[in-house]
Structure 1
Amino acid sequence: MKIAFDAKRIFSSVSGLGNYSRDLVRILSEYYPENQYILISKKTSEKGSEILKRSNISHLRTSKGTLSRQFKTGTDAQNLGADIFHGLSGELPLKWNSKPIKKVVTIHDLIFERYPEYYTWIDRKIHFWKFKKAAQSADKIIAISEQTKDDIIHYLKVPESKIEVIYQGCHHAFKEEHDDEFIKAVKEKFQLPDRFILNVGTIEPRKNLLNVVKALQGTQIPLIVVGTKKPKYFQLVKKKIDQNKINAQFLTGVSMNELAVIYRLADIFIYPSFFEGFGIPVIEALFSKTVVITSNTSCLPEAGGSDSVYVDPKNHLDIQAKIKFLWENESERKRRADKGFDFVQKFNDEPIANELMNLYQKIMS
């Protein structure tokens, strides 16, 4: 089978959509090496260079032209004889020729519909139009959670039979053991305290770091934050940290292997986002055997399982109580971390690869 992918995010994104795209292609090539996987994009970059080293993965530069991703990528795949085209980030090309090809699109979330206040009017309209067109054009839609499936049905008016829920996993760095020397080097490089709670994700209103900071008022618990800063919201968070003398560090320039070590060193991972399509950081923490505090909303209980600790993300006093409970109870942290590690095995590479290939084979038959 020859499978083509819209590879823009593989080479352009360092976080969510990029990680999903790179991991999906990587695990397919590993567990189903007999297929050909073609990454189609205008350009490549260092971000996706690792998977291009695999013999069954190749890159095709999109044909030149205005809006080539929208109008040339699909026909490029058809002319190459691809059996399937998979749009990895909610979009499919707008133009196709008469050659047969099956179309799959992954939709990660519809946050722009649920929380329009986080988007401009024009961005919401463009996102909705693109997602709606892709949903109509696709032979099958992959939703990355039951929550996203429900939103696709509700907002895009898609029949349930057209949607398959296939969860995503995380980078293999979070599943590997790291030697003591590397762990020590990471701790020294970032001047990490002996004990801390960790937050990972873009520093923006939806991720709700401000309520974590409020929850830490009056405590001496160190907070480590790894994530891209959105200037306006970051300044709001920083002001609250300074006013209340919160012990907080913001780390930048963290590699994936270093991040994996930081997860393992943390006593608690905290992720009280208001809404997520899935929440990969929760999975990363569980694979790292670190107990998770996350929101009782959206898909986060799907990702966290029964032994993570859930909070009302709007209530900083609830967040504070759950932090203190775990911070002061080592045996409870370990018990929940061990149970969480058992639960997260369902998000391992092999079952995800099998589900993806079953879907591809289903639409081809």
Structure 2
Amino acid sequence: MIIGLDAKRAMANHTGLGNYSRYMVDILATYHQSNNYRLFVPKEKKNSSFDKLLHHNNVRSSFPQSTTMKRFSSLWRTWFIKKDLVRNGIQLYHGLSNELPIGIHKTGIKSVVTIHDLIFLRYPEYYKPIDRKIYNFKFRYACQVADRIVAISECTKRDIMHFYHIPEEKIDVVYQGCDPQYSVRVSESRKSEVRVKYDLPEKFILNVGSIEERKNLMLAVQALKDIPSDVHLVAIGRKTPYVNKIMDYVAENNLGDRVHLIHDLPHKDLPAVYQLATLFVYPSRFEGFGIPIIEAMHSQLPVIAATGSCLEEAGGKDSLYVDPDDVSGMAEAMNRILEDPALREKMIASGNIYLQRFQENILADSMSKVYLKCFEGTESATISQQDIQVEDYRMNWSKRPL
């Protein structure tokens, strides 16, 4: 089968949607080699991570061909890409980042869209009005015209059903994995090098993610007052105006020597930072999934996360969870892990078992099964059960026992 994929984010984004897009292309090309994958990119940029995808024999990229479409690449991606899809013999098109081309349902090409979250509807105060309107139009349209919808968590699936009234039987949950680099043990010399490079403390709690209000780093900062003074907090992520709020609180409470904010940390240094940490906290008020939790568990860290969204799906039943406004609860959870080595080891061991459901082959097979569903009940000489070999892995959070 010839599968087209929206690769705008795979090329342009180095985190978030870009990581997801590159990861899915990589595992599909690896575990389902009988398919050919065409990455449709509106604008070419330098990205070594994207270039690695082209090392697969069954992956190649496609760009706008005419001068006009190169100049108006956003219009090409949204409206005029359909001609290129037909010309390339695309049988199924996957919008990896919440969108599909306008009118794709009229081309005869089957379509799948991945919806990552609907946070802009659940927490509109975190978004500009114009952004909410644009997102709502694009996401709703994609959900309506797609043959299948992929939700990255049961939480996102419920939101799609609630806000867009999409029938449950149209939506499949396919979880995410993370870069294999987080499962590789970093050498002691390399960890020492990274510790010196970023002046990391000897004992610290780690948080990874954009430092913005929704991510709720303040909860972890406030909890610091109630844990041993030799334990620091290191937060790594994109800087936003919320940082000023954090630093004001830090100054007012004499925590300046215990709170370390690092921005623009290279991706290659992150595994070492994870492995130097004592535990990981992710107090976000709402997420579509929570990839940093998976990264932390692969790095052999116990995890504390917030209740209220999908983070229990990412962390499993043996991670600890607190209300996103419960400072004393966060401090208590931190102290439990810091003071109890046996609990720490139990959480890490249970996390390793839980991570098995996020193995690359399982996720690739689950996505390929979604593709196959698009052709159920249709006759095609080129699509058959043999074209997409899938195993019936049950990934439904609400039904699978932990």
Please classify the TM superposition score into its range, dividing by the shorter chain length: over 0.9
Greater alpha carbon shift after TM alignment, 114-123 vs 95-104: 95-104
The correspondence of residues 56-135 of structure 1 with structure 2, limited to 5 A, is 56-63=58-65, 64-65=68-69, 66=72, 67-96=75-104, 99-135=107-143
Q: After superposition, what is the alpha-carbon deviation per residue over 1:274-318, rounded to whole angstroms, capped at 9, x for unaligned? A: 001101111111111100000121111111101100001111121
Residue 43 (structure 1) aligns with: 43
Indicate how the Cα distance of structure 1 residues 297 and 9 shifts in structure 2: closer, same or farther if over 3 A, else same: same
Instruction: Give me the whole-angstrom Cα distance separating, in 1, the residues matched to 2:312 and 2:28.
Output: 27
Residue 278 (structure 1) aligns with: 289
Unaligned runs of 5+ in 2: 377-402
Are the aligned partners of 1:26 and 1:51 in contact in 2 as well (CA < 8 Å)? yes
Are the aligned partners of 2:22 and 2:50 in contact in 1 as well (CA < 8 Å)? yes
Residue 213 (structure 1) aligns with: 221
Give the superposition deviation at 1:218. 5.1
Q: After superposition, what is the alpha-carbon deviation per residue over 1:190-211, rounded to whole angstroms, capped at 9, x for unaligned? A: 2222211000000111000111
Give the superposition deviation at 1:259. 0.8
Instruction: Give me the whole-angstrom Cα distance separating, in 2, the residues matched to 1:98 and 1:112.
Output: 29
Give the superposition deviation at 1:98. 5.8
Instruction: Give me the whole-angstrom Cα distance separating, in 2, the residues matched to 1:62 and 1:317.
Output: 55
Greater alpha carbon shift after TM alignment, 262-271 vs 214-223: 214-223
Residue 361 (structure 2) aligns with: 350
Greater alpha carbon shift after TM alignment, 49-58 vs 14-23: 49-58
Indicate how the Cα distance of structure 1 residues 106 and 97 shifts in structure 2: closer, same or farther if over 3 A, else same: closer
Instruction: Give me the whole-angstrom Cα distance separating, in 1, the residues matched to 2:161 and 2:53.
Output: 34
Instruction: Give me the whole-angstrom Cα distance separating, in 2, the residues matched to 1:252 and 1:116.
Output: 26
Are the aligned partners of 1:75 and 1:97 in contact in 2 as well (CA < 8 Å)? no
2:147 maps to a residue whose letter is D
Residue 238 (structure 2) aligns with: 228
Are the aligned partners of 2:98 and 2:113 in contact in 1 as well (CA < 8 Å)? yes
Residue 18 (structure 1) aligns with: 18
Greater alpha carbon shift after TM alignment, 182-191 vs 121-130: 182-191
Q: After superposition, what is the alpha-carbon deviation per residue over 1:44-88, rounded to whole angstroms, capped at 9, x for unaligned? A: 331412212222211100354341110122332222101110001
Instruction: Give me the whole-angstrom Cα distance separating, in 2, the residues matched to 1:25 and 1:18.
Output: 11
2:308 maps to a residue whose letter is T
Residue 400 (structure 2) aligns with: none
Instruction: Give me the whole-angstrom Cα distance separating, in 2, the residues matched to 1:117 and 1:350.
Output: 38
Residue 27 (structure 1) aligns with: 27
Segments of 4+ in structure 1 off by > 3 A? 63-66, 95-99
- Residue 327 of structure 2 is aligned to residue 321 of structure 1: no
Are the aligned partners of 1:85 and 1:101 in contact in 2 as well (CA < 8 Å)? yes
Instruction: Give me the whole-angstrom Cα distance separating, in 2, the residues matched to 1:224 and 1:40.
Output: 38
Residue 332 (structure 1) aligns with: 343
Are the aligned partners of 2:284 and 2:305 in contact in 1 as well (CA < 8 Å)? yes
Instruction: Give me the whole-angstrom Cα distance separating, in 2, the residues matched to 1:97 and 1:130.
Output: 14
Are the aligned partners of 2:104 and 2:111 in contact in 1 as well (CA < 8 Å)? no
2:245 maps to a residue whose letter is L
Secondary structure at the aligned position of 1:74 is classed as helix
Instruction: Give me the whole-angstrom Cα distance separating, in 2, the residues matched to 1:132 and 1:253.
Output: 33
Select the residue among 164, 175, 179 that pairs with 1:156.
164
CA RMSD, 1 decimal = 1.5
Are the aligned partners of 1:222 and 1:248 in contact in 2 as well (CA < 8 Å)? yes
Are the aligned partners of 2:226 and 2:331 in contact in 1 as well (CA < 8 Å)? no
Secondary structure at the aligned position of 1:122 is classed as helix
Instruction: Give me the whole-angstrom Cα distance separating, in 2, the residues matched to 1:250 and 1:173.
Output: 23
Percent pairwise identity = 40
Secondary structure at the aligned position of 2:280 is classed as strand
Residue 242 (structure 1) aligns with: 251
Secondary structure at the aligned position of 2:137 is classed as helix
1:68 maps to a residue whose letter is W
Secondary structure at the aligned position of 1:59 is classed as strand
Residue 317 (structure 2) aligns with: 306
Are the aligned partners of 2:210 and 2:239 in contact in 1 as well (CA < 8 Å)? yes
Instruction: Give me the whole-angstrom Cα distance separating, in 2, the residues matched to 1:223 and 1:97.
Output: 49
1:184 maps to a residue whose letter is S
Instruction: Give me the whole-angstrom Cα distance separating, in 2, the residues matched to 1:72 and 1:98.
Output: 13
Aligned length: 364
2:124 maps to a residue whose letter is P
2:191 maps to a residue whose letter is I
- TM-score, length-scaled by structure 2: 0.87
Are the aligned partners of 1:74 and 1:85 in contact in 2 as well (CA < 8 Å)? no
Residue 264 (structure 1) aligns with: 275
Instruction: Give me the whole-angstrom Cα distance separating, in 2, the residues matched to 1:96 and 1:294.
Output: 39
Select the residue among 187, 201, 209 that pairs with 1:193.
201
Instruction: Give me the whole-angstrom Cα distance separating, in 1, the residues matched to 2:119 and 2:261.
Output: 26
Instruction: Give me the whole-angstrom Cα distance separating, in 1, the residues matched to 2:180 and 2:265.
Output: 16
Greater alpha carbon shift after TM alignment, 252-261 vs 133-142: 252-261
Are the aligned partners of 1:72 and 1:95 in contact in 2 as well (CA < 8 Å)? no
Instruction: Give me the whole-angstrom Cα distance separating, in 2, the residues matched to 1:334 and 1:217.
Output: 25
Give the superposition deviation at 1:180. 2.7
1:244 maps to a residue whose letter is N
